[in-house]
Structure 1
């Protein structure tokens, strides 16, 4: 660091540029933790209802507006027929709304006690 010239700076820049970010390190740790579970532990953790399929998608007012209807029609057309193992399976389709900037920036309303005490203060 004492003799910082272009070559040393370039090497340092490349070294730092190719290091994983904190998010990448956390994701890698989560994946490695999941891979360490034995198959028995995975089966114990997967206690889901095999007669329901939950589908969630991001809501959009454009092309995805008819997604529920189109998906259900494709489901009935390709998976529901006589003798199908999926006849008893029900679909639960839910939307996830994308948070707007105002939702991200607005904080919760303060408690009522804090608001009533603020009213009693006389501002001059």
Structure 2
């Protein structure tokens, strides 16, 4: 919490609350800065400043991908990192430093510079805030910062409210509509690679629509789903995992093991 009261007043208040219940103990630390989860908050001459917090012991340039993934997965990594940066950084200078950290992390993990630049520009273009990326426009950044903070709060609340309102209307009307019958789904898995198979999904859909989705075709009601599988890492190929617990428990004690000596 934040307060303008003297330290002695806050300490006395916390100590008094700490004596109310012997089963509940309050531990507190009063300082001009604090970190909570991935947020760092500091008080600079009466102004609160927030930024992204990283644990000093954690490696700062590690991404959660160690094998080939589809392009939309890699683009989501960039979008999510920038979204977190805008929400947590309270001013444009702090965000610009966070943007550099994100860019360095991506470059160290083999992301092409053109790919990074494209998705950086696309992120700000989606919010009509290209001037932030080009000119570090402080006023525009503050508007985007508040907008994304409000979105993070309302995103979880609005769908639940709409669902409750819709359910209430259906109950009042005395009828609840049944969900339509799902279409037949055809799921095709393929091994993704960053080479020739990068455009496999797009080309396959073109062929599917050309040869199977003609007028009066019996396959028009089939929903095509192309799912990718990542290439195995060296860890999965070389490291033998421990057998399942059921296999270890069901070992017959009457079976004896023998050793061979050469």
Q: TM-score, normalised by structure 1?
A: 0.43
Q: TM-score, normalised by structure 2?
A: 0.21
